[in-house]
Amino acid sequence: MKKERDKHRTQYQGVSVAGMAPGGWGVVDQGGNRLLVWGGLMGDRLDVRVVRRERDRTEAAIDRIVARPITTTSPSCSHFDVCGGCLWQHVAYEAQLQLKRNMVQGCFLASGLDADLVKPLLGNKEAFFYRNKMDFTFGPNRLGQQALGMFESPFKVGLTQKYEGVPPVFEVETCWLQSDVGNRMVAWIRQAIASRQKLTNEAGNLRSLVRRDGKHTGEILVHFLVGGACEELLQPIAQELIQIFPQIRGVLLSVNPKRSKHAKPTKQVVLAGQGWIFEHILGCHIRVSATSFLQVNTQQAERLYAQALDYAELTDRSTVLDLYCGTGTLSLLL
């Protein structure tokens, strides 16, 4: 048992990050042993320590930054030092684009493809407040109290020794990825649940809160995911939500006894309003449900689809098969 624990404490000093892996992990080649370093940036020289090994994957945390050629700055979000939602907010946006290109190039090389096929990235015009979907978690905070927010990053707050477990939840006051009304709505729901003792007692059943909005229509859909029967307790909150926030078109509840968010709900009901919102994508009028797949960055999705249409060079004789269509946005545009 002691030998197994010691394996997880392996330390490496002065290693160099030579590439980027999916998820934003820095890649270090340590004598044929591939380390994935959370928070490592291209060109970094670091002292790291192994915190998890599983199959062919070894993950490490940074103990000390020896040298960092990429210039960093103060992040805009006050939660950045705790939250696991954003990884590179302290990196200039142009440098972020290069890191993402390095990431895709690494995937190409691993597949035996020419990395030069990856063109420079087309960045977003807005670095913040762009997401049309946000997922917040109900769970215990560090004091064991019920909270609604995001998971703490084990790498940022030094919880890597407990990395095998579920990290605590902290309460997000202002998330820079979602709209102002989204932040106010989450704060209101947090307070509404805390003020109702019966809902507080159902802490184990409340799993997550998902907010979707139409960036071009301004419509909002609120989705509660729970593990058990909370319909009667949440319905008054749903009715108040629609009255206080007129942008909300519907509030839904999905019951899923399993922990996996990908498991199919055993029950889904509309608590208030309707079960969908509308969005406009390049002239198409799209109906979006609570579980529909839609690109989370609406502005970049439009650029992506426009690029795909350009590459396709369709004519009136073309036949198109859309084999995994999500909401069908690209199908309709094609």
Torsion of CA 188, 201, 273, 128, to 10 degrees: 40
pLDDT tens, 295-323?
Answer: 999 999 999 999 999 999 999 999 988 88
Radius of gyration of the chain (CA): 22
pLDDT tens, 59-94?
Answer: 999 999 999 999 999 999 999 999 988 999 999 999
Confidence of residue 6 (pLDDT cuts 50, 70, 90): very low
Residue 1 has pLDDT above 70, yes or no: no
Q: Alpha carbon of 212 to those of 108, 163, 236, 291, 304: distances in Å? A: 33, 30, 20, 10, 20
Confidence of residue 161 (pLDDT cuts 50, 70, 90): low
Q: Alpha carbon of 207 to those of 145, 253, 256: distances in Å? A: 14, 11, 9
Confidence of residue 262 (pLDDT cuts 50, 70, 90): low
Q: Measured at the alpha carbon of residue 43, what is the angle toward residues 38 and 46, in degrees to the nearest 5?
A: 55
Percent pLDDT > 90 in the chain is: 70
Q: Which of 111-125, 152-166, 215-229 has the lowest mean pLDDT?
A: 152-166
Round the average pLDDT of the chain to a whole number and report it.
90
Residue 301 phi, psi dihedral angles, 5° rounding: -60, -40
- Of residues 8 and 102, more confidence is placed in 102
Name the pairing type of β-strands 25-30 and 169-170: unpaired
CA distance 116 to 1: 47
CA distance 263 to 225: 11
pTM of the model: 0.88
CA distance 213 to 277: 8
* Structure tokens given for 186: 């989450």
**Torsion sign across C-alpha atoms 79, 82, 86, 88:** positive
Question: In terms of DSSP H, where are the helices of 111-179?
Answer: none
pLDDT tens, 198-245?
Answer: 776 666 789 999 999 999 999 999 999 998 878 888 999 999 999 999
> Is 172 in contact with 136 (CB distance < 8 Å)?
yes
Q: Which of 179, 174, 96 is nearest to 133 (CA)?
A: 179
Q: Measured at the alpha carbon of residue 93, what is the angle toward residues 89 and 98, in degrees to the nearest 5?
A: 110
